[in-house]
Structure 1
Amino acid sequence: MLARVPAGWRAIVVDNGSTDGSAELARSLGATVVHEPRRGFGAACHAGLTAADADVVCFCDCDGSLDPRDLEPFVRDVAAGRTDLVLGRRRPQARGTWPAHARAGNLALARMLRRRTGLRLHDLGPLRAARRADLLALALTDRRSGYPLQMVVRAADAGWRVEERDVPYLPRTGKSKVTGTWRGTWQAVRDMRAVLAEPPGTGAHARPEGSNR
């Protein structure tokens, strides 16, 4: 994964409880490793966001299922002011890449998101790009599986231009603790339903400069 990071980009790897030596390996390969003691997907994502110093930041899983090079057009459009938040819509490239329970949970959440915000999105995948200062201004509070959804909900409430782009989705390396099981998927759906229950206006929303949605 680190070998695929575009030239000139700074790779930040967040370690929030790994026991397999991956943090040390990432550091030896040139990544900036940030330690986050709190467990949870959102805790790791937010630690990376606060550790970043670039104007535009990206999020990407490190399991080999997504290619960080696909983020380059996302970053160009955000940096040029053509959009505010770009999400990658995962397109499976092989049978079994996306388990049925995980896909069903994602589809259900996308429909609930559409009812809540009006955004016609199909996926709440982890590949995404936006301006760092604008993301911090959203005052995201979820530190579990609801973090990526809360980002989209609060961005929509703030009037951001949110877009979705197709990206290849490959078989992951290892088994996911979240979407790899029905129990993990159900917990993620519970976390995200709590986010959708937040009333509009929750959090310190910010409308990015130049937005005209």
Structure 2
Amino acid sequence: MAAGVDVIFPCLNEARALPGVLAALPSGMRAIVVDNGSTDGSAEIAAVRGAVVVTESRRGFGSAAHAGLLSATAPIVAFCDADGSFDSAELARVVAPVTAGDADLVLGRRRAQRNSWPLHARIANAFLAARLRAFTPASLHDLGPMRAARREALLDLDLRDRRSGYPLEMVLRAARRQWRIAEVDVSYRPRIGRSKVTGTVRGTATAIADMSRVLREEAR
């Protein structure tokens, strides 16, 4: 079921989490770790464990995610955080509807474990998901970064955001083209190491600003 899947892991200083994240990857999936300026040896750790390592010097989630997409060659591409907050084994569940032809874009709806999702980040996610439902017919509850779609179709979306708005822009453009968008439940665990975005109020505020900008641009 998982054959022909490239999994993109945007990565900034995730040396502690990467071994477990990569070890849990389902058989038939290839890891593409996009190093976005790590100083802790993340790239070397990923390479030793068999991942394809791509270097992206321009900082930003969207920059790293899109660099991975451009480097992918498999017909199906998935995205996942590299910090251990997701169980990589559950990527099989996210990819399955795309492989079966039942959905064009599948998002992992986070089911949070204790202490895994700060309240401010959860509120921000609910707010953005509610705004998103006003723009699309898809009944979405989460803008989580674990997701899967066909590579050529994603490239055809011509995504432009290179910051935190990248995941939202993907959903908005997919909805505009009437893609079948689905959600599946995935576990959400306390991340390993220090959070760069949702674990801090400042990071969450930056993500909200980026996504609000994308919503305004798409509304035009």
The answer to whether the 8 A contact 2:93-2:184 is kept is no
TM-score by length of 2: 0.88
Provide the C-alpha distance between the structure 2 equivalents of 1:66 and 1:177, rounded to a whole number of angstroms: 16
Shift of 1:125: 0.5
Provide the C-alpha distance between the structure 2 equivalents of 1:199 and 1:51, rounded to a whole number of angstroms: 26
For 2:72, the aligned partner's letter is A
Provide the C-alpha distance between the structure 2 equivalents of 1:197 and 1:121, rounded to a whole number of angstroms: 19
Name the counterpart of 1:70: 90
For 1:85, the aligned partner's letter is L
Shift of 1:118: 3.0
3-state SS of 2:96 partner:
helix
Name the counterpart of 1:122: 141
Mark the runs of 5 or more structure 2 residues left unpaired by the alignment.
Answer: 1-20
| Identical residues among aligned pairs (%) | 61
3-state SS of 2:206 partner:
helix
**Which structure: greater strand fraction?**
2
Name the counterpart of 2:153: 134
TM-score by length of 1: 0.91
Name the counterpart of 1:198: 217
The answer to whether the 8 A contact 2:94-2:147 is kept is yes
The answer to whether the 8 A contact 2:109-2:142 is kept is yes
For 2:46, the aligned partner's letter is A
Mark the runs of 5 or more structure 1 residues left unpaired by the alignment.
Answer: 203-213
3-state SS of 2:187 partner:
strand
Name the counterpart of 1:145: 164
Name the counterpart of 1:205: none
Shift of 1:180: 1.5
After superposition, give the CA deviation of every residue in 1:52-71 in whole Å (9 maximum; x if it has no partner): 10000100001111012212
RMSD: 1.1
Question: In the alignment, does 2:97 pair up with 1:82?
Answer: no
> Aligned pairs, how many?
200
Name the counterpart of 2:12: none
3-state SS of 1:103 partner:
helix
